[in-house]
Amino acid sequence: MNKKKNKYYLGWRKKNTTPTLSEVFSSIPVYTQNIWKKIYAFTGPGLLISVGYMDPGNWATDIAGGSKFGYMLLSVICISNFFAIILQHLSIKLGIVCERDLAQACRDHYPPMVSFILWILCEIAISACDLAEIIGSVIALKLLFKIPILWGVFITATDVLIILFFQYKGFRYIESIVATLIFIILVCFIFELIHSKPEITEILKGIIPNTEIINNYRSFYISIGILGATVMPHNLYLHSSIIQTRKYPRTIKGKKMAIKYATIDSTFSLLLAFFINASILIISAATFHKFGYTEVSDITEAHKLLTPIIGSSLSGVLFALALLASGQNATIAGTLSGQIVMEGFINIKLKPWIRRLITRLIAIIPAIIVTIIYGEKGTSELLIISQIILSIQLIFTIIPLVNFTGDHDKMGLFTNGPILKITSWIITIVVIILNMFLLYNTLIRGNYFKI
């Protein structure tokens, strides 16, 4: 192979990599003549990614932040969402240009031992994420149908596998299910937002960063949790893989077109997730904080208080329904991420249903153990701790992504430009500093996971 002519694979140890989720690779046609058809063709992966930004982990951190500090942490959600838009764009570029997902890129670049360690860290993060999602779903099932917590865990594990079974009919089926659940969440929160009657001026003030966030350890702790809940490390692996389900021309022109429309899909979907994520904190601030309930951090407690404060019996039902839809959506994305990470890092090729079962068990076993030991007690703190774990894992995900997409040998004509390169490294440095400060306060100063 003439390396001078090869603009996309110079920097990789391996030159041919079989795509993950090969059963749906390049399965959705893209019609290149009509702009609206192109937008429609690329709509879907962004919605699937966005569910990670409105999962039950977000609920726990946002409810805690809103009840304790009012609207102040809205700025953290806003900044985190900007980080997410940039990082998901980089993930899209990597998948489209190099035809590798992030896990495969790590395997094809780093030594085997480094790649193996990154895989283990990623599996821990996915398990932590699934723990949050499962706890959220089982709490919703109990609130809606009085189903015991442990039974809810098994139900949640089973129904997600059933939903993912429909993937054999086409990836569009999965995307349609996710889109429907997002619509349900959106409707529920619009109702809650209208009836909670938030103060617009306070919302605008909350969007502006406040130094009190850093000076107060409790607000800083929750802010790190919000960052971990908003920018999801496994979403970067997921997006770089599922964007390859689109059948766009694998040429320079075709890849430019794919990056453009995939970024439109991603950005719009993340702005939608921002609205929902911010709504959770705003509702908490407009109800719990306003009426003096400043220590609400438990989802079950929030559900009990919401109806009498808002004055509508429907608010509690819609709150639980949105929580259930959120948990189900996030577990679909998490399970798919598990498949991609397992295939990408250690190159295990199994039948789709076996892959799903294994990746689901990796997450469900810790969830069952935690549920048996703790039950409902401490579930909110467990949710927030899971987001802290995700935030720490984010370091080991962002650095390879930013490094790969800024490497001319790997990306060729699509290498990050100066502004994007500087911005992405600033985001990386900010994330590292915040997490190192959190670890220092936790391990050295003894401020363990307390809210």
Give the predicted TM-score (pTM) of the model: 0.87
Over range 341-346, report the average pLDDT: 88
Query: Which pLDDT score, from 0 to 100, does residue 240 have?
Result: 94
Over range 410-429, report the average pLDDT: 93
Query: Which pLDDT score, from 0 to 100, does residue 401 have?
Result: 95
Over range 23-41, report the average pLDDT: 87
The SS3 assignment for 59 reads helix
Query: Which pLDDT score, from 0 to 100, does residue 163 have?
Result: 65
Q: How confident is the model at residue 367 (pLDDT cuts 50, 70, 90)?
A: low
Higher-scoring residue by pLDDT: 55, 111:
111
Query: Which pLDDT score, from 0 to 100, does residue 353 have?
Result: 66
- Would you kindly state where each structural domain of the chain is located, as residue ranges? 22-444
Q: How confident is the model at residue 434 (pLDDT cuts 50, 70, 90)?
A: confident
Identify the top-confidence range among 168-177, 374-383, 405-414.
405-414
Structure tokens at 333: 């994305």
Structural contact between residues 29 and 18, judged by C-beta atoms closer than 8 angstroms: no
Q: How confident is the model at residue 316 (pLDDT cuts 50, 70, 90)?
A: confident
Higher-scoring residue by pLDDT: 34, 130:
34
- Which class for 120: exposed (0-12), middle (13-18), buried (19 or more C-beta within 10 A)? exposed
Distance (Å, whole) CA 331 – CA 11: 34
Higher-scoring residue by pLDDT: 238, 303:
238
Q: State yes or no: pLDDT of 441 exceeds 80.
A: no
Query: Which pLDDT score, from 0 to 100, does residue 2 have?
Result: 44
CA dihedral of 306, 308, 312, 316, whole degrees rounded to 10: 40
Exposed e or buried b per residue across 295-314, where buried means at least 16 C-beta atoms within 10 angstroms of its C-beta? ebbbbebbbebbeebbeeee
Read off the pLDDT of residues 203-228 as tens digits, 9 standing for 90 and up. 999 898 888 887 787 788 788 777 76
The CATH number given to 22-444 is 1.20.1740.10
